[in-house]
Chains A and B, each alone.
Chain A
Amino acid sequence: MATPDSAEVVVIGSGICGALAARKLALRGVPVLILEAGPRIDRGRIVAAFRNSPRKGDWMSPYPYSPWAMQPQYKPKDNGYLIQAGPYPYPAEYIRVVGGTTWHWAAQAWRLVPNDVRIKSLYGVGVDWPMTYEELDPWYQEAEEILGVAGADNTGSPRKHPFPLPPVADPWSMIRFRERLAPVYPVVANTVARNSRSYDGRPACVGNNSCQPICPVNAQYLGINAVEAAEAAGVKVRADAVVYRIEADAKGRIAAVHYYDPDKTSHRVTARQFILAANGIESPKLLLMSTSSKYPNGIANSSGMVGRHLMDHPSSSLTFYADEELWLGRGPQSPSSINTMRDGAFRSQHAAYRLDFTNISQVLSVTEALIAEGVYGPEFEKQLRWRAARQCNVKNVLEVLPNPDNRITLSSEKDALGIPKPVAHYSIDDYTRRGAERSKQDFAKIAELMGGTGLRYSPDGQFANNQHITGTLRMGDDPAKFVTDGFGRAHDHENLYMCGTGVMPTAATMNSTLTAVALALRTADHMVPAKSSGADNGGAT
């Protein structure tokens, strides 16, 4: 083997969390090696592949598919990778490539609201976090400065220091929503890792309206930016290295990880410390696979909690025609929200939610609808323009409570390398469904204020998934109930840390990436405390 087989720290997974934790360690002088299961990809080719894609609505379609690093895909047909055990389907999507799944994300970079970390104490539901919101604030700030987060102060998440960037300019459609809903709802600009001006050498947004599946111009912070920054700091990244086993020594320390290359040649890499950052499904899968006589339930799993408490954000929605021309599709995709239902005493009764307005161009969905309806002749163009100008959509982003039965387990089915496929056990409980029911009032009011016609509610009991895979490695103080401690360290192994959305004890109502990044930076700091202050804080690389 020509490549070195040891490092001070090995990070499994090159997504935004693993890469930024790696970068932080490297900036503190630690040699770090990242092992990534998937290949390196190139932005321009993804853009070109999207334009050639026969499925423009399927944001996975432009991404390459590697037989050795399978990822869940559902179109044109389910590739059978993420096996559904039910009772409710959990069609999670993620990308196994260098840079990870934030290659396509909406860049919504929300903080929690302070009460999110105390819902057990305050509302008697879920579980409290092993830290306060105030403890998270500096890590949020650091994450926001790295990512270049643009936002306003009226979102319900207090902060000690200002956002690095001012809020992104509203699309016209959102200006109208804000004006017309003002009597009832404050419509706030989303906090987003999208450049409202040139930042850190990346350009300002130019409104390509394809934040998902790909920002073509690098105006939105992606995991690949984190990888490049990590590499600039000295981190080595090995692509196409599919870790399939974590090996513990007799004392319970992690000694090595084993990976396959695409030819299924096995390699062993040793290190003093390890970070598992392979996402909320692949990370628990890897822990569960790593069984031995000493660890029959897998690594870090003496509690039996690995893979449990799977959470995400289900959404129901309302689509309607406003009574004026809004022309969604001008500017970025995810501009605005209503945050009034993210917290309140009602959380003891039903799920909190954020209301999210899309600015995704409606042309594709309107065209598909017209073709399905059989509208032909001059009427087609007339209808296309009328509907594309007026169609709009609001969805809820619902909190899901941690439930041990919602979990990731291993299948007896194997992937191409002989590695077990993950199984998703998922359900949506009445607490969440009550939240969805409550949000219909808001949907109706919003449509009314916008002069809405042609109201189309998503079918009752049907929820879209938001790919915010949370909770499977949850952090907490009690080793019997939690996988990691409050710093992401495995309760069972002193030199194994976990980064990513999996460590979050609850899902709250915000897109999970920013919180996961803040926690990852905090974990890295805990692993190798700074010698002097500020050397690697502040973000612009």
Chain B
Amino acid sequence: MNAPACKSLVAGLAVLLLGLQTCAAAAANSAGAAEIQRGQYVATASDCVACHTGPGAKPYAGGLATMTPIGPVVSTNITPSKTDGIGNYTEQQFSRAVRKGIRADGSHLYPVMPYTEYSQLTDADVQALYAYFMHGVQPVASKPPATRLPFPFNLRILMAGWNLLFLNRHPFQPDPAQSAEWNRGAYLVEGPAHCGTCHTPRNLLMASKSSDALAGGVVGTWFAPNITPDANSGIGNWSQQDIVDYLRSGRAPGKAQAAGPMAEAIDYSLRHLTPADLRAMAVYLKTVPARHDAADTRPVDAWGSAYADLASLRGKPLPKHADDMTGPQLYDAYCASCHQDQGQGSFDGGLPPLFHNTATGRFNTDNLVMVILDGVRWHTDGSGTRMPGFSGELTDRQIATLGTYVTQHFGNPAAKVTLTQVATARAGGAPSNLILLARILLAIVLVIIAAIIVWVVLAVVRRRRRAADAPAGR
């Protein structure tokens, strides 16, 4: 999101929060203020605003295009505008949209909208959410452009089949064998906070692989890592407090910093949750089945050490061409000013060390590349640009050299950053072959159906012919 858009969103949110009380008062007859406030909390926990607010738009007015392997899906206006939003939705229609992915007009939503996860929402929370969206949100009369996906995905009815295969049909059921805190955490993680939307890998049909829940997934050009309690592959060596700190501030000191979509999730949603809820999520996350990858031989945040190659730098001129700069030279010029000459970070660690840091310790270096390109930017918490991006300063070759140097010495030495990886990330991700695949599959299905029809027709014709040919008076 660019700066003005971001600013207007922030301003909009402020207006929204200010407006809430007035709206709530006005709506006292139809829904209780407490109910609306609870609904707002559910909406925050569900991070509705992140997707349903386009660049420069008012909160919930829609218009944000989310890139998916099958094309951009544009979020809709979910303000209570009767002309452009969901002002005419009944609570039942609202519930069906949120939990079953079916709009009031009966057409299907694309599962970019995480209704698969929201299907876990309790009736009470959906009710509160409805009260909030009807009475706590300012109606905005503006219609974002419609989503237009290529054939065959423009046939929304296909999603009915997808839902048959992948949609859970029941709200969250507490496990009586577990504590109330655990159950609350499970509800938040699996339901509103929809962690699995990003952190669970997807199968060929873009559905979450429940067998690998929270074992790590791809989010556009970013990687949502394994957050199961495996000590090496996941976050098994994080304390409960580490997890809470991370979800509240985007930082687990001495371990990790949130960037990209995770920073956004914390910024708009998770940091607003109560300490008790964050603790509950941490409690639950510590108990989900651990998923281990044999390649991970030590915890992601346990790699690397302080290192500098000052002897190769001092007293030696830089090469004329930017692409000829070495890893140490690039690190010196672009990174060391904050992360310090040996990657050790500032005195208090507030500017993080690069060793013992998940940013460099992960075998998958996609996030490292994205952070070098885009930096770390927060939108609503006032911290803004926590780290500047270098997409304007550094070439693909420089980022590949730099990224590999950084993982080599501060992180996982087996991890590499390649030139094509940087070029792909800069271009916004690899082109997906899902559309082609779907069309081929569809063609095959059509050919098979055609073959069946032909076979059936021929069989009928043959039988009729045979019947006609048969001697009379059988």
Contacts and interface: CB of A to CB of B under 8 A. Distances in A.
Chain A in direct contact with chain B (Cβ < 8 angstroms):
yes
Nearest to A44: B333
B313 A51 contact: yes
Interface stretch (A84-92, A196-204, A285-293, A376-384): A196-204
Nearest to A43: B393
Interface string B328-353: 01101110011000000010000100
B315 interface: yes
B385 A203 contact: yes
Contact of B337 (A42, A47, A204, A228): A47
B211 interface: no
Contacts of A52: 313-317
Contact of A51 (B330, B332, B386): B332
B7 interface: yes
A197 B330 CA distance: 27
Contact of B385 (A44, A45, A47, A198): A198
Interface string B137-158: 0000000000000000000000
B337 A217 contact: yes
B318 interface: yes
Given A42-B393, A51-B332, A218 B388 contact: yes
A200 B329 contact: no
B338 A206 contact: yes
Interface string B361-395: 00000000000000001000011111110001100
Given A52-B314, A540-B4, A44 B334 contact: yes
Contacts of B384: 197-199, 201, 203-204
A340 interface: no
Given A197-B384, A198-B383, A45 B3 contact: no
A45 B382 contact: no
Interface in B161-197: none
Contacts of B454: none
Nearest to A51: B332
A44 B393 contact: yes
Interface residues on B, range: 20 to 34
Contacts of B393: 42-44
Contact of B314 (A42, A51, A203, A218): A51
Interface string B312-330: 0111111000100000011
A216 interface: yes
Contacts of A199: 384
A48 B333 contact: yes
A48 B318 CA distance: 8
A200 B317 CA distance: 33
A131 interface: no
Interface in A184-243: 197-204, 206, 208, 216-218, 228
A265 B90 CA distance: 75
Contacts of A216: 337
B314 A48 contact: no
Interface in A449-487: none
A47 B333 CA distance: 6
Contact of A203 (B316, B318, B346, B387): B387
Contacts of B317: 52
A447 B463 CA distance: 116
A49 interface: yes
Contacts of A217: 337-338, 388
A218 B337 CA distance: 11
Q: Which of B329, B334, B351 has the most chain A CB atoms inside 10 A of its CB?
A: B334
A49 B3 contact: no
B333 A201 contact: no
A394 B313 CA distance: 36
Nearest to B7: A540
A37 B384 CA distance: 35
Contacts of A43: 393
Interface residues on A, range: 20 to 34
A203 B7 CA distance: 15
Chain A contact residues: over half helix, strand or loop, or mixed? loop
B329 A48 contact: yes
A218 B330 CA distance: 17
Q: Which of B315, B330, B337, B387 has the most chain A CB atoms inside 10 A of its CB?
A: B337
A249 to B, nearest CB: 40
A200 B7 CA distance: 9
A206 B351 contact: yes
Contacts of A201: 3, 377, 384-385, 388
Nearest to A54: B315
Contacts of B382: 197-198
A197 B383 CA distance: 7
A437 B93 CA distance: 82
B351 A202 contact: no
Contacts of A208: 337
Contacts of B3: 200-201, 540-541
Interface string B1-31: 0011001000000000000000000000000
A399 B381 CA distance: 43
A165 to B, nearest CB: 11
Contacts of B316: 52
A210 B383 CA distance: 22
B67 to A, nearest CB: 22
A190 B83 CA distance: 52
A218 B383 CA distance: 15
A201 B346 CA distance: 22
Contacts of B346: 206
B325 to A, nearest CB: 9
A203 B388 contact: yes
Interface in A478-506: none
A540 B6 CA distance: 12
A199 B318 CA distance: 31
Nearest to A202: B385
A409 to B, nearest CB: 37
Contacts of B388: 201-203, 217-218
Contacts of B313: 48, 51-52
Contacts of B387: 203
Nearest to B346: A206
Nearest to A217: B337
A49 B4 contact: no
A49 B318 contact: yes
Nearest to A49: B318
A45 B7 contact: no
Contacts of A48: 313, 318, 329, 332-333
Interface in A329-375: none
A150 B266 CA distance: 28
A361 B195 CA distance: 47
B399 to A, nearest CB: 12
A52 to B, nearest CB: 6
B233 to A, nearest CB: 32
A52 B384 CA distance: 32
A221 to B, nearest CB: 14
Nearest to A540: B3
A207 to B, nearest CB: 9
A220 to B, nearest CB: 13
Nearest to A52: B314
A199 B388 CA distance: 11
A44 B385 CA distance: 18
Contacts of B330: 44
A445 to B, nearest CB: 35
A228 B334 CA distance: 19
Contacts of B4: 540
B376 to A, nearest CB: 9
A218 B393 CA distance: 12
9 contacts: A43-B393, A48-B329, A51-B313, A52-B316, A197-B383, A198-B383, A198-B386, A206-B351, A540-B7
**8 nearest A-B pairs in the assembled complex, by CB-CB distance:** A198-B384, A44-B333, A216-B337, A48-B333, A203-B385, A198-B385, A44-B334, A201-B3
Given A51-B332, A208-B337, 5 more contacts: A44-B334, A47-B337, A198-B382, A203-B385, A203-B386
Interface of B: 3-4, 7, 313-318, 322, 329-330, 332-334, 337-338, 346, 351, 377, 382-388, 392-393
